[in-house]
Amino acid sequence: MALTNTQYDEIMHEYEMTRAFHRDDQGGRIKYVEEHVPGFLELEQSTGSISAEFGRRLLAGEKLSKEKLHSMLEEISAKKKVLLREAGLPENYLEMEYDCPICKDTGYVDNEKCSCFRQKIINKLYSESNIKKLTEKANFSLLSDEFYTGEDLERFHVAVKTSKDFINNFETSYPNLFFYGTVGTGKSFLSVCVAKEILERGYSVLYFSAAGLFTLIQTNSFDYKKSEELRTLYDDLYNTDLLIIDDLGTENVTKSSSSEFFAIINERLIRNKSTLITTNLSLEGIKSIYSERIFSRISSSYHLCKLSGPDIRVLKKLQY
CATH of domain 126-319: 3.40.50.300
The residue-averaged pLDDT of 236-244 equals: 91
**For position 135, what pLDDT does the model report?**
82
With 90 as the cut, is the pLDDT of residue 108 above it? Answer: yes
**For position 88, what pLDDT does the model report?**
94
Which is more confident, 303 or 65? 303
The residue-averaged pLDDT of 228-239 equals: 84
**For position 188, what pLDDT does the model report?**
93
The residue-averaged pLDDT of 170-198 equals: 92
Question: Exposure of 226 by Cβ count < 10 A (0-12 exposed, 13-18 middle, 19+ buried)?
Answer: middle
**For position 132, what pLDDT does the model report?**
72
Q: What is the pLDDT of residues 131-150, one digit of tens each?
A: 777 888 888 988 889 889 99
Cα separation, 152 vs 158, whole angstroms: 10
- Backbone Cα Rg of the chain: 26
**For position 193, what pLDDT does the model report?**
94
**For position 121, what pLDDT does the model report?**
82
Domain extents for the chain?
Answer: 5-86, 126-319
What is the rounded average pLDDT for all residues in the chain? 88
Annotate the chain with DSSP letters as a single string: -PPPHHHHHHHHHHHHHHHHHHHHHHHHHHHHHHHHSTTHHHHHHHHHHHHHHHHHHHHTT----HHHHHHHHHHHHHHHHHHHHHTT--TTTTSPP-S-TTTTTSSEETTEE-HHHHHHHHHHH-GGG-HHHHHTTSSGGG---TT--HHHHHHHHHHHHHHHHHHHTHHHH---EEEEESTTSSHHHHHHHHHHHHHHTT--EEEEEHHHHHHHHHHHHS-GGGHHHHHHHHHHHHHSSEEEEEEETSS---HHHHHHHHHHHHHHHHTT-EEEEEESS-HHHHHHHS-HHHHHHHHHHSEEEEE-SS-HHHHHHHH-
pTM of the model: 0.70
With 80 as the cut, is the pLDDT of residue 318 above it? Answer: no
Rounded to 5°, the CA angle 241-245-248 comes to: 155
**For position 1, what pLDDT does the model report?**
46
Question: Exposure of 83 by Cβ count < 10 A (0-12 exposed, 13-18 middle, 19+ buried)?
Answer: middle
Q: Which of 71-85, 165-179, 215-229, 298-312 has the lowest mean pLDDT?
A: 215-229
